[in-house]
Amino acid sequence: MRDQLEGSQAVARAVARCRPEVVSAYPISPQTHIVEALSDMVRTGELAPCEYLLVESEFAAMSAAIGASAAGARAYTATASQGLLYMAEALYNASGLGLPIVMTLANRAIGAPINIWNDHSDSMSQRDSGWIQLYAESNQVAVDLHIQAFKLAEALSLPVMVCMDGFVLTHAVEPLEIPTQEQIDAFLPAYEPRQVLDPDDPVTIGAMVGPEAFTEVRYLAHAKQMQALDLVPELAAEFATSFGRPSGGLLRRYRTEGAKTILVALGSVLGTIEDVVDELRDEGLSIGAVGLKCFRPYPLEEVRAALARAERVVVLEKAFAVGAGGIVGQNVRLALSGLPPRVHDVVAGLGGRPITKASLRGLFLDAAADRLDRGLTFLDLDRELVERELRRAGDLDRPGPHAESILRQIGVVAAGPV
Amino acid sequence: MRPRRLAIDDVGMFEIRIHGRGGQGVVTAAELLSVAAFAEGKDALAFPTFGSERTGAPVTAFCRIAERPIRSREPIVEPDALIVQDTTLLHQVDLFGGVGPEAYVLINTGRGLDELGLDEFAASRFRPERVVTVAATELAREHLGRPLPNAALLGGFAALTGVVSVEAVANAIRGRFSAKIAEGNVAAALAAAEAVREGRTVRA
């Protein structure tokens, strides 16, 4: 039965029905509502048996999850932004040790300048941490992905990060269906750890490995993550059979049949993109979209198959590699190596900048008419403001910080108008 | 009484933008509206603009109501209805940005549009019968004992537009708050709805 729910509340309830035994977390916007709700459910006994650990930092949150997971408990945490960076060292340990922790990442920008709003800088910064990364395009998918994430993590003994756009999804209220406890129990079996710290059967987890075997252990980590390319679609199919709706998978094609222009994106912007694709298709433009749902491991062959027959591909991403360009764009180029489609990188929605249908429409029309630069495009960039700031700074020996100067120029102090 | 009409446009969507200040229940109002619409079989999406949450800071929240699944998550730039919870925002925020000539405008004030300096502006830009003021803060003080205008404005919105029923708004309020607070808010919402229906409010 569907109910009108906030995304965070729905995710918390779905996670609770996955029966985590340890939840360790440190609150940070926009993830806070999720862990608050879980903490409440542990306090009232609705989620039991489960230990909720309010730790002193994100580093501790992940460290506690590592300890719990190694001791055989199903472990969960959630974070965002600087919180993810603060736990970076522990992230690599969780994946390197092969511990099936599930974490929600409520995607948020990384400072400086400090910014609490949504983009994908946080998850993209940890794309090579050895975690599987799934991206939710809607709150229903976020709910469904968490259920699949526990099963995927435990089948491979690898940690899974479920990325959902902060605020845009976490704070949105909409009709959502949370599967029942019985449905989830039937889909997700009890956790059987592949390795466990047990005083009755002692083992060491986390041995030091020197040059003689480090490469081999890392190779196995790669090989194991690549297995998810088979398992993710299998779980999505099983989920569709069990729950009666499609959710998950490696990628999703939207009206790509015969499309000359194909857009690639991740996360909640896909809904807005699909609306614009429908409008442009109605006007006769040959355009479609591909939503990447699993970014790590990277489904190279599936991306190639989905895009190979396009004339051009526009990769719209909410993060970029400073000094290099698009991140997803580089991965798409890898998939299309030697094939005809031109690939354009477009950065959009940084730090909570709204991505409007009007802007997307203009972008897609420009792309279809080959008016887009070969280089990196910043959607809705106020070029005049940038140039004014560069002129101001250029004349001064000590121009001071750009951020404060730009805020003064547009008449904004901190996050609100003067 | 105003004839009930389903004010959902030809693409099957009605979009509401609510302006107020932190602490006035702006975000809650958008959420309650979405709950009311959902209960009446619509798809509904409520979401706020987000800032560093501070009491008194300008806050905007959105609600999209549709006869079909809602996919777009862009902020509402061309609302079909505007609810202004706090008239001190008039000179601080571009409240009427993107608001078209057919839009409904509901303003929380015990004063007339002329006293706000809005009478000529409203008459020239909107359909006069769609611009309505309601003394929501006073109604909330009377029925709830606190100056929280959001529930009363939702009652007025339901009566003005017919996009949701006043009953659905009342049920959404009851589902959200404890009995005593809920009943005060419901009473304020019903009183505002009645005032709007009977035309006891000041029109442009």
pLDDT, average across residues B158-183:
97
A249-301 pLDDT, tens digit each: 999 999 999 999 999 999 999 999 999 999 999 999 999 999 999 999 999 99
pLDDT band at B3 (very low <50, low <70, confident <90, very high): very low
- All residues of chain A having their beta carbon less than 8 Å from the beta carbon of residue B52 are 116, 414-415
Residue A375: the pLDDT is 83
pLDDT band at A395 (very low <50, low <70, confident <90, very high): confident
Task: Please name the residue ranges forming H helices in A30-128.
Answer: 32-44, 58-70, 81-86, 88-96, 121-125
Residue B93: the pLDDT is 87
Answer whether B121 touches A (CB < 8 Å). no
pLDDT higher than threshold 80 for residue A416: no
Residue B91: the pLDDT is 85
Q: What share of chain A is helix, strand, coil (3-state, %, to 5)?
A: 45, 20, 40
Q: Any idea which fold A2-243 has?
A: Rossmann fold (3.40.50)
pLDDT higher than threshold 70 for residue B182: yes
B17-46 pLDDT, tens digit each: 999 999 999 999 999 999 999 999 999 999
Q: Which amino acid is at A408?
A: R
Residue A161: the pLDDT is 98
pLDDT band at A136 (very low <50, low <70, confident <90, very high): very high
- In Å, how far is B43's CA from the nearest CA of chain A? 7
B51 burial type by CB count under 10 A (0-12 exposed, 13-18 middle, 19+ buried): middle
Q: Torsions phi, psi of A254, nearest 5? A: -125, 110
Residue B66: the pLDDT is 96
Answer whether A172 touches B (CB < 8 Å). yes
**Minimal-distance CA residue of chain A relative to B42:** A175
Q: Torsions phi, psi of B2, nearest 5? A: -65, 135
Residue A418: the pLDDT is 38
Q: Torsions phi, psi of A240, nearest 5? A: -60, -40
Q: Between A and B, how many CB-CB pairs are < 8 A?
A: 71
Residue B4: the pLDDT is 40
- All residues of chain A having their beta carbon less than 8 Å from the beta carbon of residue B72 are 271-272, 275, 357
Q: Where are the domains of chain B?
A: 13-197
pLDDT more than 90, % of chain A? 96
**Minimal-distance CA residue of chain B relative to A138:** B71
Give CATH for domain B13-197. 3.40.920.10
Residue B7: the pLDDT is 55
Where in chain A is CATH 3.40.50.970? 2-243
Where in chain A is CATH 3.40.50.920? 251-378
A327-335 vs A300-307: helix axis angle to the nearest 10? 80
Which of B46, B52, B92 comes nearest A172 by C-beta? B46
Residue B1: the pLDDT is 37
Weakest-pLDDT range from A88-102, B5-19, B65-79 = B5-19
Strands of the A294-296 sheet, one edge to the other: A51-54, A22-25, A75-79, A102-107, A160-165, A132-135, A294-296
Contact A416 B74 (CB under 8 A): no
Residue B174: the pLDDT is 98
What's the CATH number of domain A251-378, 1.10.3720.10, 3.40.50.300, 3.30.420.40, 3.40.50.920?
3.40.50.920
- CA dist A116 and A30 (Å) reads 8
- All residues of chain A having their beta carbon less than 8 Å from the beta carbon of residue B57 are 416
- All residues of chain B having their beta carbon less than 8 Å from the beta carbon of residue A32 are none
- In Å, how far is A354's CA from the nearest CA of chain B? 6
- In Å, how far is B48's CA from the nearest CA of chain A? 7
Residue B19: the pLDDT is 96
Q: Which two tokens stand for residue B83?
A: 């609810």
Answer whether A274 touches B (CB < 8 Å). yes
Q: Which amino acid is at A24?
A: S
- In Å, how far is B29's CA from the nearest CA of chain A? 12
- All residues of chain A having their beta carbon less than 8 Å from the beta carbon of residue B73 are 168, 172, 268-269, 271-272
Residue B6: the pLDDT is 47
Residue A152: the pLDDT is 98
pLDDT band at A148 (very low <50, low <70, confident <90, very high): very high
- In Å, how far is A270's CA from the nearest CA of chain B? 8
Answer whether B34 touches A (CB < 8 Å). yes
DSSP string, A243-292: HSS----SEEEES-TT-SEEEEE-TTHHHHHHHHHHHHHHTT--EEEEEE
**Minimal-distance CA residue of chain B relative to A356:** B74
Which of A4, A172, A274 comes nearest B47 by C-beta? A172
pLDDT higher than threshold 90 for residue B51: no
Contact A356 B74 (CB under 8 A): yes
Residue B201: the pLDDT is 59
- In Å, how far is A118's CA from the nearest CA of chain B? 10
Answer whether B94 touches A (CB < 8 Å). no
Enumerate residues 6+ apart whose C-beta is below 8 A from B120: none
B166-176 vs B179-197: helix axis angle to the nearest 10? 160
Which of A116, A271, A416 comes nearest B73 by C-beta? A271
B92-112 pLDDT, tens digit each: 889 999 999 999 999 999 988
pLDDT, average across residues A175-180:
98
Answer whether A189 touches B (CB < 8 Å). no
Summary mean pLDDT of chain B: 91
Answer whether A416 touches B (CB < 8 Å). yes
**Minimal-distance CA residue of chain B relative to A279:** B11
Contact B50 A357 (CB under 8 A): no
Inter-CA distances, A334 with A328, A330, A343, Å: 10, 6, 10
pLDDT band at A56 (very low <50, low <70, confident <90, very high): very high
Which of B50, B70, B74 comes nearest A355 by C-beta? B74
Answer whether B50 touches A (CB < 8 Å). yes
pLDDT, average across residues A80-86:
98
- In Å, how far is A282's CA from the nearest CA of chain B? 14
pLDDT, average across residues B179-197:
96
pLDDT higher than threshold 60 for residue B5: no
- CA dist A243 and A240 (Å) reads 5
Answer whether A141 touches B (CB < 8 Å). no
Weakest-pLDDT range from A167-176, B62-71, B109-118 = B109-118
Contact A357 B74 (CB under 8 A): yes
| ipTM reported for the complex, 2 dp | 0.92
pLDDT higher than threshold 70 for residue A128: yes
A350-394 pLDDT, tens digit each: 999 999 999 999 999 999 999 998 889 999 999 999 999 999 999
B126-144 pLDDT, tens digit each: 999 999 999 999 999 999 9
Which of A173, A268, A354 comes nearest B75 by C-beta? A354
Contact B44 A30 (CB under 8 A): no
pLDDT higher than threshold 60 for residue B204: no
